[in-house]
């Protein structure tokens, strides 16, 4: 069964809807769907959106028109239904909504289309008898909610499942108990072997390694340490040893590439054509002019130094002098200077030696090595600074190439230091190895002695044999259960195979016509099954709507609604559905129907679904109060244990699901609703911004309520204002205020300027109190009945 719409987001009018925070009863308990679920909501409130979620669980597809839709549908004993997990529930679901109509009755939308045919089981006494015999042998499933006991193969499966469950629980209990003991010994903090690595030698010890050790100590050839040997091994462990010294990455310093790039830039020539000769000869003057050009260009027309005009010819000469080639060279030099500076900083981090990692016997050699490493770094830094100086020199005199002496690549000095370090590191680690090896062996032998004592204490061999015996029994019972399940599958396959022999599409059309004629009296409008051939010459059936012997066109909305719903009801008898007890969702089936046809739709649902009890769960939604009234006559519809009522409401662009108010669930009249609105207005806080709708609707609600109330109170032909005066008696203030509100606040025609001013809230609240006080004064018994109809107890009201 579907338990709830756990959450809905980004789906039409539903945004951030959370069931558990919204759907709670008076005791603050989360309300769930029941066997029967009835929804009421006005048009465009979101009823069809809910049906589309459930239809997606039926078809496995959700409209791609929704952007990033999210929902979770909780279903008993299976994973939640979500947009990425639509059909894993395994439930048989049938949904009637406008999408069902569009998918199956395309004729209603496009007269040139036909109606999707379906087959129901036809008549064949011999096969029917065989099917019934197979079904009797198969039996029925247990259903505690409907007090149905399992029979046949299903009873056999129930008993086999019980035995398998009992055997599995016995095995799991014994196995879990043994595993808990093993886990405690292996990884319990602080007593487990894992947390005594100083004694037993394995910081990553776990239950898998423990089982391996158990296997070792269980071998007949294993001899554990004696107590004297244990003492000797513990003494050995007290001797300390250094940890292995990790490798240092081999230095890779490419000075040659840096030298080559610098030489290319420093010695590179720049064309002297169009250059200012005076600036070529004086690098300082050239740099001064370059900076001045950048300060004046597009900013100043006169020279800031001498105050003279800068002619266009002078600008042209400067542009030719400081051309793109020189600017590009300058950028390349700046980039290589930055790279050189980075190398100078980086070299300090290469081959950092920590002599504290070594035994003290190595410290003297390491001090010498550290000094050699620092000397090598100084040499390399000097080489790098030489390259940088050459680059800076060329940048300062950019237009004139410079001589460049190659820098010797001394990076091998650093590599030699690394080789020496690796020699010392290897010797230090080897120095530890003999001590460490003996200690490692000692720890392993101590651990095996601990494991040996443990297996003796818990009688591991005996317990393990018992667990294995229980597992064998559980496997055998599970296999027996699987055999019965397989037998049920084969039986169902035989039934379905024989039912396919009786498939008859024409009887599908006959069933639709039966509903049209018997329930609605539409014998002039029928559904016909027409035989045709497909492109391969095979038999092909299609349905057409016929009126008076001819294909029907221009169906009214009411006729379309009747045919669509009758088609859906008949399809519940098709070979894919009949006998499967589906979850049924019927979305507003009475669109465009008059009151007689609304009653007939209710009768069809009652007779064909509820009487036969061929459903697991049913949902019906409507916008029509008359239909809602009829739905309450359905079997178990007033049983609180079997049926729930829900209200779908929309405020602006957001919809939500709530429990149906009592006045709407128990009394389906507008009169009760109007009284409830007046009562809420009388008790509302005037400064509560969430109650503004009560005041803006008060004029209409009060006028309509008093028209009905006073008509039955004073059924003679006196005017409404006279009825108000008579009703309120000596309270002239109440009758005048009520008459004003009825006329000014329930109409804008002739009083359009009233819509330009805000509502007088205290006046509304006072009038509501006048009305209620007068009803209570004149007929307290009726007043109490009205309060009860909207779920207000007398003591609560007082």
The string of DSSP letters for 25-56 reads: -TTSPBP---SEEEEE--TTSSHHHHHHHHHH
- Selected residue with higher pLDDT from 511 and 206: 206
What is the residue-wise DSSP string for 516-555?
A: HHHHH--TTEEEEEEEEE-TTS-EEEEEEEEETTEE--S-
pLDDT band at 188 (very low <50, low <70, confident <90, very high): very high
Overall size of the chain counted in residues? 798
Return d(Cα 744, Cα 702) in angstroms, integer: 12
Return d(Cα 508, Cα 515) in angstroms, integer: 11
End-to-end CA distance of the chain: 42
Return d(Cα 625, Cα 648) in angstroms, integer: 14
Helix boundaries (H) for 268-323: 277-281, 283-296, 312-321
What's the whole-number mean pLDDT along residues 583-601? 84
**pLDDT at site 627:** 87
Return d(Cα 159, Cα 538) in angstroms, integer: 47
**pLDDT at site 754:** 40
**pLDDT at site 357:** 86
pLDDT band at 520 (very low <50, low <70, confident <90, very high): low
Return d(Cα 682, Cα 694) in angstroms, integer: 10
- Selected residue with higher pLDDT from 102 and 522: 102
**pLDDT at site 751:** 42
Give me the long-range contacts of 551-554 (CB less than 8 A, separation at least 24).
552/525, 553/111, 554/111
Return d(Cα 164, Cα 199) in angstroms, integer: 45
What is the residue-wise DSSP string for 673-703?
A: HHHHHHHHHHHS-TT-GGGHHHHHTHHHHHH
What's the whole-number mean pLDDT along residues 767-780? 86
What's the whole-number mean pLDDT along residues 319-336? 71
- Selected residue with higher pLDDT from 267 and 532: 267
Return d(Cα 240, Cα 425) in angstroms, integer: 18
- Write the pLDDT tens digit of every residue in 30-42: 999 999 999 998 8
Return d(Cα 452, Cα 511) in angstroms, integer: 78
Q: In what order do the strands lie in the sheet with 17-18?
A: 17-18, 2-9, 70-75
399 contacts 270 by C-beta, under 8 angstroms: yes
Supply angle C-alpha 234, 236, 238, rounded to 5: 80
Is residue 657 classed as helix, strand or coil in its secondary structure?
Answer: strand
Within 10 angstroms of residue 272's Cβ, the number of other Cβ atoms is 12
Return d(Cα 200, Cα 206) in angstroms, integer: 12
- Write the pLDDT tens digit of every residue in 528-581: 777 666 554 555 667 777 777 777 777 778 778 888 888 888 888 887 888 889
Residue-range domain boundaries for the chain: 2-123+503-662, 275-322, 666-797
Q: Is the pLDDT of residue 339 over 60?
A: yes
Within 10 angstroms of residue 623's Cβ, the number of other Cβ atoms is 18
Return d(Cα 309, Cα 729) in angstroms, integer: 103
- Look-up of token digits 């090896």: 437
- Write the pLDDT tens digit of every residue in 55-70: 999 999 998 888 899 9
Return d(Cα 139, Cα 148) in angstroms, integer: 11
- Look-up of token digits 């423990």: 210
Segment holding 9, helix H or strand E: strand 2-9
pLDDT band at 743 (very low <50, low <70, confident <90, very high): low
Helix axes 670-683, 698-713, angle to 10 degrees: 120
By mean pLDDT, which of 55-64, 252-261, 512-521 is the weakest? 512-521
Q: Is the pLDDT of residue 763 over 80?
A: no
For residue 39, list its beta bridge partners.
621, 646
657 contacts 5 by C-beta, under 8 angstroms: yes
DSSP 8-state symbol, 487: H
pLDDT band at 748 (very low <50, low <70, confident <90, very high): very low
Q: What separation in angstroms does the CA of 700 have from each of 676, 685, 697?
A: 13, 20, 6
Structure tokens at 157: 């499966």
561 contacts 134 by C-beta, under 8 angstroms: no
**pLDDT at site 755:** 41
**C-alpha dihedral, 328 to 334 to 336 to 337, nearest 10°:** 160
Q: Is the pLDDT of residue 151 over 50?
A: yes
Return d(Cα 314, Cα 302) in angstroms, integer: 12
Q: Is the pLDDT of residue 279 over 60?
A: no
**pLDDT at site 495:** 86
What's the whole-number mean pLDDT along residues 697-716? 79
Burial class (CB in 10 A: 0-12, 13-18, 19+), 462: exposed
Structure tokens at 592: 């465009």
Return d(Cα 453, Cα 50) in angstroms, integer: 64
pLDDT band at 757 (very low <50, low <70, confident <90, very high): very low
**pLDDT at site 752:** 39
Burial class (CB in 10 A: 0-12, 13-18, 19+), 298: exposed
- Look-up of token digits 């007068």: 774
Return d(Cα 288, Cα 293) in angstroms, integer: 9
Is residue 663 classed as helix, strand or coil in its secondary structure?
Answer: helix
Is residue 498 classed as helix, strand or coil in its secondary structure?
Answer: helix
Q: Is the pLDDT of residue 719 over 80?
A: no
Q: What separation in angstroms does the CA of 325 have from each of 27, 210, 273, 659?
A: 85, 74, 12, 81
| Torsion over CA: 493, 498, 500, 506 (sign) | negative
**pLDDT at site 750:** 43
CB within 8 Å of 558: residues ≥ 6 apart: 592, 593, 594, 597
| Torsion over CA: 192, 198, 203, 206 (sign) | negative
**pLDDT at site 611:** 86
By mean pLDDT, which of 83-97, 108-122, 427-441, 562-576 is the weakest? 108-122
**C-alpha dihedral, 669 to 670 to 674 to 680, nearest 10°:** 60
Return d(Cα 443, Cα 429) in angstroms, integer: 20
CATH 1.10.10.10 fits 2-123+503-662, yes or no: no
DSSP 8-state symbol, 434: H
Structure tokens at 628: 């809602």
Q: What separation in angstroms does the CA of 552 have from each of 38, 350, 375, 545?
A: 34, 91, 104, 6
Structure tokens at 182: 């093993």
Question: 95: closest CA among 83, 85, 103?
Answer: 103
* Bridge-based pairing state of the strands 120-121 and 93-96: unpaired
pLDDT band at 176 (very low <50, low <70, confident <90, very high): very high
Structure tokens at 145: 């909610």
pTM beyond 0.85: the answer is: no
Is residue 566 classed as helix, strand or coil in its secondary structure?
Answer: helix
DSSP 8-state symbol, 78: S
User: What does pLDDT average to over the chain?
Assistant: 82
545 contacts 525 by C-beta, under 8 angstroms: yes
CB within 8 Å of 245: residues ≥ 6 apart: 357, 358, 425, 428, 429
pLDDT band at 583 (very low <50, low <70, confident <90, very high): very high
541 contacts 509 by C-beta, under 8 angstroms: no
């Amino acid at each position: 069964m579907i338990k709830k719409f756990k959450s809905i987001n980004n789906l039409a009018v539903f945004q951030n809807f959370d069931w558990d925070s919204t759907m709670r009863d008076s005791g603050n308990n989360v309300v769930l769907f029941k066997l029967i679920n009835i929804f009421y909501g006005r048009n465009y409130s979101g009823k069809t959106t809910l049906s589309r979620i459930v239809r997606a669980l039926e078809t496995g597809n959700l409209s791609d028109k929704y952007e990033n839709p999210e929902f979770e549908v909780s279903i008993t004993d299976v994973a939640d239904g979500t947009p990425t997990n639509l059909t894993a529930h395994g439930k048989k679901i049938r949904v009637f909504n406008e999408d069902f109509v569009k998918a199956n009755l395309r004729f209603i939308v496009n007269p040139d289309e036909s109606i999707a045919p379906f087959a129901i089981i036809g008549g064949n006494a011999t096969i029917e008898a065989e099917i019934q015999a197979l079904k009797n042998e198969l039996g029925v499933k247990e259903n505690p909610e409907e007090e149905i006991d399992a029979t046949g193969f299903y009873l056999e499966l129930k008993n086999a499942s019980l035995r398998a469950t009992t055997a599995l629980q016995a095995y799991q209990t014994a196995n879990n108990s043994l595993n808990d003991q093993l886990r405690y010994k292996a990884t319990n903090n602080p007593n487990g072997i894992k947390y005594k690595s100083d004694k037993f030698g394995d910081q990553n010890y776990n239950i898998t390694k423990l089982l391996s050790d158990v296997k070792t100590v269980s071998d007949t050839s294993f001899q554990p340490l004696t107590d004297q040997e244990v003492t000797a091994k513990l003494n050995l462990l007290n001797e300390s040893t250094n940890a292995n010294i990790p490798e240092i990455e081999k230095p890779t310093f490419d000075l040659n590439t840096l030298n080559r790039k610098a030489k290319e830039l420093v010695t590179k020539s720049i064309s002297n054509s169009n250059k200012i000769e005076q600036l070529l000869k004086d690098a300082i003057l050239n740099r001064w002019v370059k900076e001045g050009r950048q300060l004046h260009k597009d900013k100043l027309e006169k020279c800031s130094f001498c105050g003279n005009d800068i002619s266009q010819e002078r600008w042209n000469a400067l542009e030719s002098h400081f051309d793109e080639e020189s600017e590009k060279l300058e950028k390349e030099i700046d980039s290589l200077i930055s790279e050189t500076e980075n190398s100078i900083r980086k070299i300090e981090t290469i081959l950092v030696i920590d002599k504290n990692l070594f035994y003290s016997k190595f410290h003297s050699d390491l001090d010498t090595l550290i000094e050699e490493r620092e000397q090598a770094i100084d040499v390399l830094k000097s080489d790098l600074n030489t390259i940088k100086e050459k680059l800076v020199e060329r940048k300062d005199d950019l237009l004139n190439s410079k001589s460049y002496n190659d820098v010797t690549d001394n990076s091998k000095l650093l590599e030699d230091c690394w080789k020496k370090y690796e020699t010392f590191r290897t010797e230090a680690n080897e120095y530890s190895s003999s001590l460490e090896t003996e200690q490692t062996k000692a720890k392993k032998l101590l651990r095996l002695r601990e494991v040996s004592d443990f297996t003796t204490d818990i009688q591991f061999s005996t317990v393990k044999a018992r667990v294995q015996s229980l597992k064998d029994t559980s496997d055998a019972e599970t296999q027996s259960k699987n055999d019965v399940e397989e037998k049920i599958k084969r039986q169902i396959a035989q039934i379905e195979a024989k039912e396919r022999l009786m498939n008859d599409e024409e009887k599908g059309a006959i069933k639709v016509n039966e509903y049209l004629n018997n329930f609605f009296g539409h014998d002039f409008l029928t559904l016909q099954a027409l035989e045709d051939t497909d492109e391969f010459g095979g038999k092909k059936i299609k349905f057409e709507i016929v009126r008076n012997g001819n294909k029907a066109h221009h169906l009214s909305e009411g006729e379309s609604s009747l045919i669509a719903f009758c088609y859906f009801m008949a399809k519940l008898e098709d070979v894919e559905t009949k006998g499967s007890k589906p979850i049924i969702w019927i979305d507003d089936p009475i669109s465009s129907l008059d009151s007689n046809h609304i009653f007939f739709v209710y009768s069809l649902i009652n007779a064909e679904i509820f009487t036969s009890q061929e459903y697991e769960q049913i949902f019906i939604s409507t916008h029509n109060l008359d239909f809602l009234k009829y739905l309450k006559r359905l079997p178990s519809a007033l049983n609180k244990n079997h049926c729930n009522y829900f209200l779908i409401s929309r405020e602006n662009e957001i919809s939500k699901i709530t429990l149906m108010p009592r006045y709407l669930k128990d009394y389906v009249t507008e009169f009760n609703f109007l009284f409830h609105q007046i009562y809420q207005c009388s008790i509302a806080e005037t400064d509560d911004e969430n109650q503004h709708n009560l005041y803006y609707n008060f004029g209409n609600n009060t006028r309509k309520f008093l028209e009905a109330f006073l008509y039955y109170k004073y059924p003679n032909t006196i005017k409404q204002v006279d009825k108000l005066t008579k009703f309120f008696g000596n309270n002239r203030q109440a009758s005048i205020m009520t008459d004003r509100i009825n006329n000014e606040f329930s109409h804008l025609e002739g009083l359009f300027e009233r819509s330009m001013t805000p509502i007088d809230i205290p006046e509304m609240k006072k009038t509501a109190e006048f009305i209620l006080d007068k009803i209570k004064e004149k007929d307290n018994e009726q007043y109490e009945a009205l309060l009860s109809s909207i779920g207000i107890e007398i003591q609560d009201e007082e």
